[in-house]
Structure 1
Amino acid sequence: MLTLCMLSEIEIWREQHYRRKMTHWFHRNPLKATAPVSFNFYGVATTPAATKVCNDLRLSRSRLLELFTDSSCNPEMMKNATDLYFSLLQGFILSLDDSSQECKLRYIQNFKWTDTLQGQVPNITEDEAKDVHRSLKIAAGIFKHLKESHIPKLITPVEKGRDLEARLIDSYIIQCQAEAQEVTIARAIELKHNPGLIAALAYETANFYQKADQTLASLDPTYAGKWRKYLNLKTCFYMAYAYCYHGQTLLASDKCGEAIRSLQESEKFFAKAEALCKEYGETKGPGTTAKPSGHLFFRKLGSLIKNTLEKCQRENGFIYFQKVPAEAPQLELKANYGLVEPVPFEFPALNAHWTPETLAAFDLTKRPKDDTAKPKPDEEVKPLKEPDIKPQKDSGCQIS
């Protein structure tokens, strides 16, 4: 089904946009691989115009697949290649006369691809950070658009635990939002924004990761266990951030005892995040293995918590003499700025090569009689090999 192919390639586009920017900070599931598609409809395409559309489709698809593993590719190159391919591909789906009827070519080509779970970072500049942030919001919008507008129209029922299933799509949407907000938090920290804003953003981000984990809770842990460990460790990490900066806010309000308790809670979450980093690294499952605990952004938080807690304890011993509460403060934080929403997505306009005459030139009566709806067994799906990008020693998230 053409829509399924769109999803597989859009998903890789989503990964490609940000994987090189913060390789060792974000966990990514494997890139989807797809079998070659030649679009050679000999006999069916009966005019030069129809043949040209097929040739352009083959070339544009091949170019798009090459870009997925090209370390020199940037978002603009990816978008241009994607738009060209989809503008051509939609001629096999959309009705040219704006009617509700499906295009006669809707089922002429079958695609074969792997399933994400069961089929198998250097310092960044401000412009690069904006690219990462924008790409993740676009990716969330793509998944949302597919979930709402295309997946419900599929004839083949969606298999449970597979890429098109609602639980996975929802997790991708939420994770895209959470990772985009990580970029926002990093920028807010670098620019020394109000601790209350940083605490609220961190709390919202932790909630995003927790929600994504809960969405995957009913999946087979054999396939989703590693992914869930990553979501868990990011939840704890940003809860540690939230309590740390909330503690700073409390101290600024002369609530030193509560500040100490907030920092102690931050310590607990940070220790749990460290333990989960180890568990995550030892958990078998699909996807790359991020190394957050070795990342400068992770290590900085540990030092910040320690130093801030010591400061609060000193101030309490010399100035405030306040009792430290037994219970941690309830975080009822709501960020008014920096929250991420998916960018609305629409497929590019139909390519100008698609005219009523071009469509009429495809004669489906001339298809080979032995052509079936199932992919041929000799169609080989070769894995997409990504370039191995080593982190720099001082790799961190510095945006200035």
Structure 2
Amino acid sequence: MLISVLKENMAHWFHRNTLKNTVPVKFDELKRVSCGGDSNKIVGELKVTRARYVTLVSNHTSQADEVREAGLNYLSLLRGLITPPAEAAASSESKLRTLTTFKWTNSMGGKTPSIHADALFEVISVLVNLALWFTKHAARVSANDSITMDEAKEVHSSLKLAAGIFYCAKEEQAHLPAQIEKATDLDVRVIEAYLLQCQAEAQEITLARALELGHKPQIVLALAMDTHKMFENAAHSLETLEKLLVGKWRSYLSLKALFYQSYGYCFWGQQLLTEDKCGDAIAVLQMSKSLYDKSGKLCREYASAQGPGQAARPDRHPFYQKLGPMIIRFLEKANHENGFIYHHKIPEAALPPEYQDTFGLAKPEDFSLPDMSELWTPQAYSNFKSAVPSADKGATPSASKGASPTEEITPVAEPDIAPQFPQVPKTQSGCIIS
């Protein structure tokens, strides 16, 4: 049987921060030091490819392959602003790296941009926004009224690709020479949280499939506990950042961590029942119910929390609503069998889950920066005179600067992709079989 995950199983569980936005870059500083010929062509291509990338990534209706291709094309040109062509390398750093000033808003919201005169800042910003677009694409596909198996696979692959892009951004962030602003998209804690969130959400799809295909409790237990750990680690990555900026986001990650921990204990209890360990099963299922009740409180707190990001209502989600009755059903069965058959003593503490890790099922897709554009020949590079760093107010070479209080960039206009609730499906996981 093939699975199509119910739309609320995806969309209403997704917290999404805002896309980044930027201002047009004319690369006038590069043009001023260009001696013509091939170098002028590079300047023109940088301007055109950047504009195309920004246009596509700012549009929720863009095709995924076009967005990815536009990002890769622009990144291949940016490579020459960071590292010179091998044959022309007098040093490992391009003489053009700090010539152009770039400005980007941050995904935690707000109109005030970060400003850097560093092409590596541009690379990381492009990567982060590309990954964010694919997370939103996943949510958008899953919000369809009827989702096919191919669409479910697309959601899964989009989340894994986004995780791979965030990993690439994390690797590049380590090469920034300047002290960065905290709680921005350059902060490694923010990038790590995004990376783990993408992996965890992809793992949710794997878990939903395992439920519908009727896999053994041990498999569901392992998937649920690994998903719990991923969300928990993502939340921990944000715990030292300002609550006003990341509080709502972190609340989402925490409640999902708690929910999947409850799910894991539920199927751990079911597994113990199959092993005739009825007393232990009752204690474990009681723990599952306690965790579920706590997650319900977090659901309500999240729904009322202020902060960046589109809202979600997980407590109204069929996948969430079905877990509570499932726990109660298993617990009533365990109590009934213990009273009539086993007469086991119920331990005060629940037995910790025993399972084998399933890491790798939602492994990030391999993603790396593209090769340097073929336009960057040694001759083209030499046609640029030695550069003078950007004199743009608010940015200095290889340094991180905040924008002036009056400088603002209008956020990207984004549609509300939250779907309406359909009839609750009559399946164990809250999923639809196709």
Question: In the alignment, what sits opposite 1:14?
Answer: none
TM-score, normalisation: structure 2: 0.78
Tell me if 1:126 matches 2:154.
Answer: no
Cα pair distance change 1:273/1:205, threshold 3 Å: same
Tell me if 1:304 matches 2:293.
Answer: no
Cα pair distance change 1:314/1:186, threshold 3 Å: same
Aligned residue among 251, 254, 258 for 1:232:
254
Question: In the alignment, what sits opposite 1:31?
Answer: 19
Cα pair distance change 1:200/1:318, threshold 3 Å: same
Aligned residue among 391, 407, 412 for 1:384:
412
Aligned residue among 367, 370, 374 for 2:395:
374
Aligned residue among 278, 282, 303 for 1:260:
282
* Deviation for aligned residue 1:34: 1.4
In the aligned structure 1, how far is the partner of 2:391 from the partner of 2:161? 41
In the aligned structure 1, how far is the partner of 2:386 from the partner of 2:393? 13
In the aligned structure 2, how far is the partner of 1:265 from the partner of 1:240? 8
In the aligned structure 2, how far is the partner of 1:326 from the partner of 1:259? 12
Question: In the alignment, what sits opposite 1:141?
Answer: 164
Runs of 4+ off more than 4 Å: 367-373, 375-380, 395-400
Code of the residue aligned with 2:295 in structure 1: it is A
Code of the residue aligned with 1:113 in structure 2: it is W
Cα pair distance change 1:381/1:46, threshold 3 Å: farther
* Deviation for aligned residue 1:338: 5.5
> Within 5 Å, which residues of 2 pair with 1:5-154?
22-40=10-28, 41-97=30-86, 99=89, 100-117=91-108, 119=110, 121-122=143-144, 123-148=146-171, 150-154=172-176
> Within 5 Å, which residues of 2 pair with 1:186-197?
186-197=208-219
* Deviation for aligned residue 1:229: 1.0
Question: In the alignment, what sits opposite 2:382?
Answer: 360
In the aligned structure 2, how far is the partner of 1:21 from the partner of 1:253? 31
| Contact 1:114–1:381 under 8 Å retained in 2 | yes
Cα pair distance change 1:72/1:398, threshold 3 Å: farther
Code of the residue aligned with 1:389 in structure 2: it is I
* Deviation for aligned residue 1:233: 0.4
Code of the residue aligned with 1:77 in structure 2: it is E
Cα pair distance change 1:379/1:20, threshold 3 Å: farther
In the aligned structure 2, how far is the partner of 1:169 from the partner of 1:153? 14
* Deviation for aligned residue 1:42: 4.1
Compute the RMSD of aligned alpha carbons: 2.9
SS in 2 for 1:234: helix
Question: Identity percentage over the alignment?
Answer: 43
- 1:109-137 C-alpha deviation (Å, 9 max, x unpaired): 11111133363533533323333333333
| Contact 1:32–1:113 under 8 Å retained in 2 | yes
Cα pair distance change 1:310/1:347, threshold 3 Å: same
* Deviation for aligned residue 1:84: 1.2
- 1:358-394 C-alpha deviation (Å, 9 max, x unpaired): 22333356x7996567299797522111122241423
SS in 2 for 1:153: coil
| Contact 1:35–1:382 under 8 Å retained in 2 | no
Question: In the alignment, what sits opposite 2:180?
Answer: 158
- 1:200-243 C-alpha deviation (Å, 9 max, x unpaired): 11111112222222222222222222122111101110011101
Code of the residue aligned with 1:67 in structure 2: it is L
Code of the residue aligned with 2:92 in structure 1: it is Q
| Contact 1:35–1:379 under 8 Å retained in 2 | no
In the aligned structure 1, how far is the partner of 2:218 from the partner of 2:297? 27
* Deviation for aligned residue 1:337: 6.4
In the aligned structure 1, how far is the partner of 2:257 from the partner of 2:312? 15
Aligned residue among 267, 292, 314 for 1:270:
292
In the aligned structure 2, how far is the partner of 1:205 from the partner of 1:252? 24
| Contact 1:187–1:399 under 8 Å retained in 2 | no
Tell me if 1:212 matches 2:203.
Answer: no
Question: In the alignment, what sits opposite 2:399?
Answer: none
| Contact 2:84–2:381 under 8 Å retained in 1 | no
Greater shift, 194-203 or 37-46, is seen at: 37-46
Aligned residue among 368, 373, 392 for 1:351:
373
Code of the residue aligned with 2:170 in structure 1: it is K
- 1:68-96 C-alpha deviation (Å, 9 max, x unpaired): 34333343222212111111221212210
Question: In the alignment, what sits opposite 2:347?
Answer: 325
In the aligned structure 2, how far is the partner of 1:191 from the partner of 1:48? 61
Greater shift, 107-116 or 356-365, is seen at: 356-365
Structure 2, unaligned stretches of length 5 or more? 1-6, 112-142, 397-402, 425-429
| Contact 1:69–1:387 under 8 Å retained in 2 | no
Cα pair distance change 1:292/1:370, threshold 3 Å: closer
The count of corresponding residues between Structure 1 and Structure 2 is: 380
In the aligned structure 2, how far is the partner of 1:74 from the partner of 1:266? 42
| Contact 1:36–1:379 under 8 Å retained in 2 | no
Cα pair distance change 1:269/1:93, threshold 3 Å: same
Greater shift, 224-233 or 373-382, is seen at: 373-382
Cα pair distance change 1:214/1:390, threshold 3 Å: closer
In the aligned structure 2, how far is the partner of 1:214 from the partner of 1:79? 30
In the aligned structure 2, how far is the partner of 1:219 from the partner of 1:108? 32
Structure 1, unaligned stretches of length 5 or more? 1-18
Greater shift, 340-349 or 231-240, is seen at: 340-349
In the aligned structure 2, how far is the partner of 1:104 from the partner of 1:21? 50
In the aligned structure 1, how far is the partner of 2:299 from the partner of 2:74? 39
